[in-house]
Chains A and B, each alone.
Chain A
């Protein structure tokens, strides 16, 4: 059921805003989209909280360090690669 616009935000319920937030955070570069999201978040505590927490999540993920490959893992990798190369070169 399509609902009409509400007084304070961009949309009648938060469904549309949540779609916009998803697009906004998935990397859609669009000033109008950003404006709509931020405007709605100013008038809706639930969407403001969603936006804030998802932004933090994305930020934390981006801070995750590249893992150091353990020496033993690297050693095993190279043993198996050299074995494979050797086997195939004899075929």
Chain B
């Protein structure tokens, strides 16, 4: 292979920044929107799943969030980062659906999240033996259930901060709260989780 070709292979193009993709979408480029979806679909699904607690509702919230983002992307003014804006939409859509769901029906919190009763995203860790793995599975299921039972204000903060790993500042932007309010809700949420998970901590 000629040297120039080898160099071309060795230096992959840098990813297009989110803001540039948004500008392209605003100018009518639909492929740019598809690229944004590919970038964030898993992250947004994590948020909707953690907030909704089951695959079906999380899937609906995921679709609604991206459709809403597409419909309103012309209103995005680059005052925040795109992912902050997108996460805010996903959180608001999920919480709104939760309120409707809770008004319409009472969902048993003991109900397993899938037919096998497992969390669908369980990833076995080969470092652990069967007993530890069992405890890890129990803990994950208990954690998800405890998060689902948190009051809405605490749940969104705990999901974004502790489970999704956003910083206090990022959570404050997503939820339109002060950093102090984020910290306060985070601590209160953690205290509730601590009580519910006393047997594991």
Contact = CB atoms under 8 A, between A and B. Distances in A.
Contact of B190 (A25, A77, A78): A25
A67 interface: yes
Nearest to B187: A22
Nearest to B43: A66
B41 A26 contact: no
Interface residues of B, number: 45
A26 B169 CA distance: 11
A65 B190 contact: no
Contacts of B59: 70, 72-73, 76-77
Contacts of B49: 67
A51 to B, nearest CB: 11
A77 B162 contact: no
Contacts of A85: 30, 33-34, 70
Contacts of B191: 54
Contacts of A76: 59, 63
A77 B63 contact: yes
Contacts of A69: 41-42, 45
Interface string A17-42: 00000110111000000000000000
B121 interface: yes
Interface in B161-198: 162-163, 165, 167-168, 183-184, 186-187, 190-191, 193-194, 197-198
Given A62-B165, A67-B121, A80-B63, A25 B187 contact: yes
